[in-house]
Amino acid sequence: MSALIVIDVQNDFCPGGALAVPEGDAVVAPINAMMSEFDSVILTQDWHPAGHSSFASEHPGKAQMATVEMRYGTQVLWPDHCIQGTHGAAFHPGLNLDPADLILRKGYRRSIDSYSAFFENDHATPTGLDGYLRTRGIGTLTLVGLAYDFCVFYSALDAARLGYAVTVVGGATRGIDLDGSVGAAGNAMQAAGVMLR
């Protein structure tokens, strides 16, 4: 059984959004075209409460894209984005939601960010996705969406570590490229056994 995991194709990560990924909206058409090829389609949705600890606005004197040390490790400070119930948190209007078996929301705990679809940024608190996949007998995953070098990257690493066969489709994802993070993410995924195509 195979699943397409569509990571965070939301308005705030697309052009005009609060944390826009360059050409983020270019992933929508290829993702829609792929959906029929899989036994399951799962969408993730960044879903932050207002005042989330990963927002630069919660750290006086700190700039956006700076880093701070949290109890779970180093955290990039982001613009306020994907706040629960807002237009920015909604899926891109062109994304086909109908084939989705599951919509998994993440990042909703105020004190911890959640890049990965599998674990929060402490790498220990599960989102429940692993259990969902295993109970359905799904062992092969293809990851697409936003952003390549953060949420797609961490999801792919965790999926490989959990024993899934993982592919990331480059044409259906885009990256932020913070200080060379796109290249570093690609190298790390390949080293972890993730197939890049």
Q: Active-site residues: which are they?
A: 8, 106, 151
Task: Give the whole-angstrom CA distance, residue 167 versus residue 44.
Answer: 17
Q: Taking the CB of residue 7, how many other CB atoms lie within 10 A of it?
A: 33
Strand-pair category, 73-76 with 67-70: antiparallel
Give the amino acid at 146: L
Residue 16 CA to residue 113 CA, distance in Å, equals: 23
Distance, in Å, from the CA atom of 95 to the CA atom of 149, rounded to the nearest integer, reads 21
Quick check: 7 and 144 in contact, CB under 8 A?
yes
Strands 165-174 and 140-146, sheet pairing: parallel
> Where are the strands (E) in the chain, listed by range?
2-7, 40-46, 67-70, 73-76, 102-106, 140-146, 165-174, 195-196
